[in-house]
Amino acid sequence: MTYSKKIQGLVQALTLEEKVGMIHGNSLFATKGVPRLGIPPLVMSDGPMGVRMDFQPDQWVPAGNDADYVSYLPSGSALASTWNRSLAWEAGRVLGEETRGRGKDVILGPSVNIKRSPLCGRNFEYMSEDPYLAGEQTAPMIRGIQEADVAACVKHFAVNNQETERLYVEAELSDRALRELYLPAFEKAVKEGKSYTLMGAYNKIKGEHCCESQFLLDEILRGEWGYDGVVISDWGAVHNTEKAAACSLDVEMSVTNDFDQYKMADPLLAAVKEGRIREEQIDEKVKRVLLLMERLHMLEGDRKKGCYNTPEHRETAKAAAEEAVVLLKNEGNRLPLKEKKIKKMLVIGENAVHVHSCGGGSAEIKALYEITPLMGLKMYLGGNVQVDYTPGYYVPSAQETQSASWQETSLENGGGQTRDTEMLGTEESQKRREALEEALRLAADERYEEVLFVGGLNHDFDSEGQDRKDMKLPYGQDEVIRKLLEIRPDMTVVMHAGSPVEMEEWADQVSALVWLWYSGMEGGTALAEVLFGVVNPSGHLPETFPKYCEDCPSHSIGEFPGDDTVRHKEEIYVGYRYYQTQGKKPRFCFGHGLSYTTFSYEEVQVSREKEIEVSLKVKNTGSRKGKELIQLYIHPVDNGADRPVQELKGYEKIELDCGEEKNVTFTLSEESFARYDEKRKAFVTEPGRYEIWLGESCEKILAKAEVRIG
């Protein structure tokens, strides 16, 4: 790597103490600057659903800043559910501009870890179970962030797929699983997203903590991928001074306020002075930090200023929320609802009024506002429809803004927590019965033309620092839904959550089922507009929704969450790769999502020159304008290798008026058909026949074509 003369001159002018100060936290979210040389501190903020509130420099206590309210964006799961690269870029642009507007340099996101289990507490932050989809949505988001002279920090590198014992657990997996599933999204973030920074994970791989791993950071990240950005540790993820200094970790951050005692602080100074570490190793880290500052124009006077809470940002949040809503069931065209036929509407479920922005761990933010489902419905319907509400189920402790001390606590207990869905005392049981009885009484009132249930999870369950114990709905919601359906079989159910829940007690009885993720400040608006047909739903699941937790491959073999070691014995068969290959039917498959209109695929053609082009004609055959998601999977026909039945290798989302048709083209290379060969230590493309499957989900394939490789 060749550095500018300015960087080389600054490194020569820095003292050893100043260099070390630049590569570890000097406060909870910033490194130390060198004012005499015009080098500012590097200031960071949690994300990526919005810029987190300000904290006091040396303790996890809010700074009390009245000006740190920000736009609240849909979660990573929601953005992935849009399957829209342009929206990912727009969301990134908002996040970058607001990060700059708040005076920060690095936003800690996006999060791209693969969803190995539905129980992972941070799944709501992550994109997908599929590496291709995760990478394709992440790369444009990073580019959008960095348009604002802000660094994205893609995280958590790598195989950080659970919260239980996350600080010390060893992820034991084959090189094939690592290369095919857990690394590709990071590689795309680095090579195509050009992420300026990357966060190392807590866990171990091959016996080394990720932030001290020469295998991950030197061999793969720097060596194979040619990464020249800054590697930042997760907070408290460094354990050994010499190992951290010897590998390509650049900046150590942590959760305690003894900043001089961080492993890359005074202990590093002592190691250099004693000759255990060469100063040249420190110089390389400092050079990369200075290169980052150069890229962000921090060493000059022409840096972008940013902005936050603008009308344009709110419009982006709304657009993303609209495309994230997934219509899971719509038997008999139950939806959209017809406003003119409704005079009174009953909304049941505590999640109709729950505010989600202020929880979830490091993803919590101070939202400028958050439109809940009930607010969204009332705002949309105005005074034309009477909208009444009852909670239906009792939540023992209403979600409050979390004390930031959870961050230190989670390190003390190793993150080894699971959250039970049922912990009830006598008083709570009584309140639950009362809430249910009131809901049943109101639902029986025939003057309500429509009854809507809004349930799901909240950040008592979807949260950093803990995994869920099971997929069950908390607070007795299954009983509530089941009994309500006995009275109102036409009731529409909305699940408001960041990760899958078990729905087997009632899913077959409900005719209309809508999935609303943690969809940001405009989530309630988006839901109302989808329910009443102003917006035609176009969200598709970025992960499989199993019927039961034990159906999930990591659980069926008893390898989640593990003990000191979590063994990935399912290998590459995660998510739909497992369900489709084994012929196991989930509740809702990967890629599933319904629309209020219909589409047809025709005239599929495959042509080959240097690359493989797949083209088809897509037509809107229904009565409404809508957006269609065309998913492309490859299927090996006569390849003898151990491979999944199908793998996602392309997708395009298009909008069509009634009767309109468009040509859609996909471009594939031979690498699109490759698998990782552990003996050759490389990706190889086996010669033979492959089918191209085109469809609306991994199960609903509407067209096929064949191509021969080799």
Question: Over the chain, what is the mean pLDDT?
Answer: 95
Burial class (CB in 10 A: 0-12, 13-18, 19+), 410: buried
Q: Quick check: helix, strand or coil at residue 556?
A: helix
pLDDT above 90 covers a percentage of the chain that reads 89
Q: How confident is the model at residue 155, as a pLDDT?
A: 98
Contacts of 382 by beta carbon, 8 Å cutoff, 6+ apart: none
Mean pLDDT to the nearest integer, 504-523: 98
Q: Give domain 599-709's CATH number out of 2.60.40.10, 3.40.50.12280, 2.40.50.140, 3.90.1010.10.
A: 2.60.40.10
pLDDT band at residue 106 using 50, 70 and 90 as cut-offs: very high
3-state secondary structure (DSSP) of residue 637: coil
Comparing 229-238, 395-404, 566-575, which segment has the lowest mean pLDDT?
A: 395-404
Break the chain into its structural domains and give their ranges: 15-295, 311-542, 599-709
Report whether pLDDT(508) > 90. yes
Choice between 425 and 448, residue whose per-residue pLDDT is larger: 448
Per-residue confidence (pLDDT) for residue 428, from 0 to 100: 87
Contact 25, 57 (CB under 8 A): no
Q: How far apart are CA 52 and CA 364, in angstroms?
A: 6
Confidence at residue 415, expressed as pLDDT on a 0 to 100 scale = 52
Q: Which of 46, 234, 470, 551 is catalytic?
A: 234
pLDDT for 285 beyond 60: yes
DSSP tag of 182: I
pLDDT score at 409? 47
Confidence class of residue 420 from pLDDT cuts 50, 70 and 90? low
Q: Kindly state the DSSP code that residue 53 receives in the 8-state scheme.
A: P
Residue type for 73, please?
Answer: L
SS3 530: helix
Q: What's the pLDDT band for 638 if we cut at 50, 70, 90?
A: confident
pLDDT digit string, tens, across residues 313-351: 999 999 999 999 999 999 999 999 999 999 999 999 999
Q: What is the pLDDT of residue 425?
A: 66
CA distance 694 to 674: 19
Yes or no: say if 131 and 124 are a contact pair by the CB < 8 Å rule.
no
Select from 334, 398, 344, 347 the least CA-distant residue to 376: 347
Q: 234, exposed or middle or buried, with CB in 10 Å at 0-12, 13-18, 19+?
A: buried
pLDDT of residue 424: 56
C-alpha 370/C-alpha 522 separation (Å) is 6
Name the H helices within 469-608.
477-487, 523-531, 553-556, 576-582
Contact 203, 564 (CB under 8 A): no
Beta-bridge partners for 617: 602, 663
The pLDDT value recorded for residue 137 is: 99
Confidence of residue 598 (pLDDT cuts 50, 70, 90): very high
- The mean per-residue pLDDT over the stretch 163-167 comes to 86
Task: Please tell me the predicted confidence (pLDDT) of residue 401.
Answer: 32
For residue 125, pLDDT beyond 90: yes
Q: 311-542 domain in CATH 3.40.50.1700?
A: yes
CA distances 157 to 380, 443, 462, 567, Å, are: 43, 49, 21, 18
Q: What is the mean pLDDT of residues 78-106?
A: 98
Q: Which of 119-133, 188-202, 490-504, 557-571 has the lowest mean pLDDT?
A: 557-571
Architecture of domain 15-295: Alpha-Beta Barrel (3.20)
How far is Cα 706 from Cα 11, in angstroms, rounded to an integer?
57
Express each pLDDT in 132-162 by its tens digit.
999 999 999 999 999 999 999 999 999 999 9
Q: Please check whether residue 511 is in contact with residue 331, taking contact to mean a CB–CB distance below 8 angstroms.
A: yes
Could you give the CA distance from residue 260 to residue 267 in angstroms, rounded to a whole number? Answer: 8
Per the CB < 8 A criterion, the answer to whether 693 and 661 are in contact is: no
- Catalytic residue status for 470: no
Percent with pLDDT over 70 in the chain:
96
